[in-house]
Structure 1
Amino acid sequence: MTQNGNLKRRVRARAAKTGESYTAALRHLREAQPRHADTQSVRLAVAQSSLFNDPRDSSALRTSGMEIRRLMRDAHRTGARLIHFPEGATCSPNKRIMSANGPCDVGPSDWTRFDWAVLSEELDAISRLARELELWTVFGSVHRLTPPHRPHNSLYVVSDRGDLVTRYDERMLSHTKISFMYSPGRQPVTFEVDDLRFGCALGMEAHYPEIFTDYERLDVDCVLFSTTGESPSAAPPFAAEALGHAASNAYWVSYAAHAPQSVTVPSGIAAPDGRWKVQCPADGTPAIAITDIATDRDHPARPWRRTARSDLYEAHKIDGDPRSDARNSF
């Protein structure tokens, strides 16, 4: 199922043997396999796609698949190595359409309303095209579990060979999602393309900085953050947080939302300095934006911030206050 299955087994074995946490064991194994010291780059395309929110509509599911594949071809023509799509790119089920209580009241989702057979056909077609184009493709989709378990809200990672190498399941779900719609995920997910390491985040997880600092500890070069963007008014906070996470963690952040949101903030790729390197058109239409993301392994920002977040300052702190009433005077 995952490209890193053997690595995960080694990490768990080391953690069991040493008593380390999973993250500490993973870092040790990563450091034991040093990466290239020079600057690496990957041409990344970020997409803003149409919003399809009725999983009962088989024609809409097919249309979403065709649009995804059209944007994949557009990215391929630019020389992109990886394309990143929004949350629910295949379909982002509307909570009222799915509610077993009817559209007026939001209740438990009735997942028998989803045309799973058509979705499966579209997923297969996307994978085949990824192999044909030799294009890594990351896109949002609902991941079905065995009933009565609710599905996951997921990001699929399809390699340039057309293989589903890993899947990220949203962990920090909204109130409606956790109450009525989805099962939460359990762990961060990383994968590598041409020696750059990518992490995945989804939905409303931009609101949780611990998701992004955890990926910094996992030594990623870029986080792919996908959200729905159903309401244009919701875009500014998410986009601002994407820029902030890029700057505070000194890595790239790709921000993919649906096209309707682009009239406020389009999809884009934030550089490690916390500024947009490139953005899609702000006109409400499906589109892509492309840039080369490069990581300088010798840049001092990330090593220093890791040092600063450790116990660096403890030895420099003063015990007590040399002035008797310092807290109440200038």
Structure 2
Amino acid sequence: MRIAMAQILSGTDPRANLGLVENYTRRAADAGARMVLFPEATMCRFGVPLAPVAEPVDGPWADGVRAIAERAGVVVVAGMFTPSDDGRVLNTLIATGDGVDAHYDKIHLYDAFGFQESKTVAPGREPVLIDVDGVRVGLTLCYDVRFPELYVELAERGAELITVHASWGSGPGKLDQWTLLARARAIDTTGYVAAVDQGCPAPDIAALGPTGVGGSLVASPLGEVVSAAGADPQLVVADLDLEAGRTARETVAVMNNRADFTRRRKAESRA
């Protein structure tokens, strides 16, 4: 399975950012990718009010992504903001193209490192998987990557690939944490993890909030780095050996061991 990660620098104009989606999707399709992943906040970067740009998943911006995916004949997954019933927004991924039409709302909000996402963003509730060419793919957003239980649940539901779409906050050690966490979640689930971040912006933009550090990567089921990006905008194309991944899941067997442990605990509680 060939995938692509579009490490971009989103601005504050959703229409201009849609142009980035068009450009990188076309390049990914030309490279033979079946799916192209864009970061969190592709629609509009953090650091500005989000409610004025939020649109529903059937609104003009999402429909623009759908049209791009249809023209390219690939699956596109991109970060946007949608309205919440309580006046906040939802931090959303839209996944569309080639028979896929789904969205995921970020479950774990970034109330850490002095930032409080929950002030303006409402949490999602449900894990989401999509099917791409018969492969189950789990969708996650940024701070989710610090919560291994979500990744284990997605793997238990059949995910062989889990994507992470981020606009990672900068600071001492943060790039190392980003890459380490992505690799750790791959090891936790003995599955592939494709983690796409915003590129590293100029210091004045970075000071406004979590706006990316670069370092997009694909980690193998054994935690090896398959492909990786630097700090600047770029398209990363990676080939996933899914059969080798299935062998790794059987050989390392942590998913089976965890299921056995859960069954024993349930049996003991009933005894």
| Shift, 1:89, TM fit | 0.8
- Change in CA separation of 1:244 and 1:287 when aligned onto 2, cut-off 3 Å: same
Corresponding residue for residue 207 of structure 1: 146
Q: Is contact 1:92–1:141 with CA below 8 Å preserved after alignment?
A: no
Which 10-residue stretch deviates more, 243-252 or 299-308?
299-308
The answer to whether the aligner puts 1:71 opposite 2:24 as a matched pair is yes
Q: Does 1:287 align with 2:231?
A: no
Superposed CA offset, 1:161-196 (max 9, x none): 5x6x11111111122122x11111111100111111
- Does the aligned pair in 2 maintain the 1:230–1:258 contact within 8 Å? no
State the SS of the aligned residue for 1:260. coil
TM-score normalized with structure 1 length: 0.68
- 2:261 is aligned, of 308, 311, 325, to 311
**Match of 1:231, as an amino acid?**
S
SS at match of 1:158: strand
Partner Cα distance (1:182, 1:312) in 2: 34
Superposed, 1:264-303 pairs within 5 Å as 265-280=214-229, 282-284=230-232, 286-296=233-243, 299=247, 301-302=249-250
**TM-score of the aligned structures, taking structure 2 as reference length:** 0.82
| C-alpha separation in 1, matches of 2:231 and 2:262 | 48
Q: Which residue of 1 aligns with 2:106?
A: 170
**Which of 208, 229, 246 is 2:186 aligned to?**
246
Q: Which has the higher strand share?
A: 2
> Residues 3-53 of structure 1, C-alpha deviation per residue, up to 9 Å, x if partnerless?
xxxxxxxxxxxxxxxxxxxxxxxxxxxxxxxxxxxxxxx21001111132x
Q: Are 2:91 and 1:153 aligned?
A: yes
**Which residue does 1:43 correspond to in 2?**
2
What is the Cα deviation at residue 252 of structure 1?
0.4
- C-alpha offsets along residues 273-328 of structure 1, whole Å, 9 cap, x if unaligned? 20111122x242x21111121222751634722332223997xxxxxxxxxxxxxx
Q: Name the CA shift for 1:199/1:298 in 2 (closer, same or farther; >3 Å).
A: closer
Any residues of structure 2 matched to 1:226-265 within 5 Å, and which? 226-231=165-170, 233=172, 234-260=174-200, 265=214
Contact 1:246 1:270 in 2 (8 A): yes
Specify whether residues 196 and 279 from structure 1 end up closer, same or farther in structure 2 by C-alpha distance, changes over 3 A only. Answer: same
3-state DSSP of counterpart to 1:238:
helix
3-state SS of 1:86 partner: coil
Q: Give the aligned residue type for 2:152.
A: T
Structure having the higher Rg: 1
**Counterpart secondary structure, 1:259:** coil
Aligned-partner SS, 1:204: helix
Match of 1:62 among 4, 8, 15: 15
Q: Structure 1 stretches (4+) deviating beyond 4 angstroms?
A: 261-265
Q: Does 1:85 align with 2:38?
A: yes
Contact 1:229–1:260 (CA under 8 A) maintained in structure 2: no
State the Cα RMSD in Å.
2.8
Identity of aligned residues (%): 20
Q: Tell me, what secondary structure is at the counterpart of 1:311?
A: helix
Task: Tell me which moved more, 296-305 or 206-215.
Answer: 296-305
Counterpart in the other structure of 2:73: 134
Deviation at 1:264, TM superposition (A): 5.9
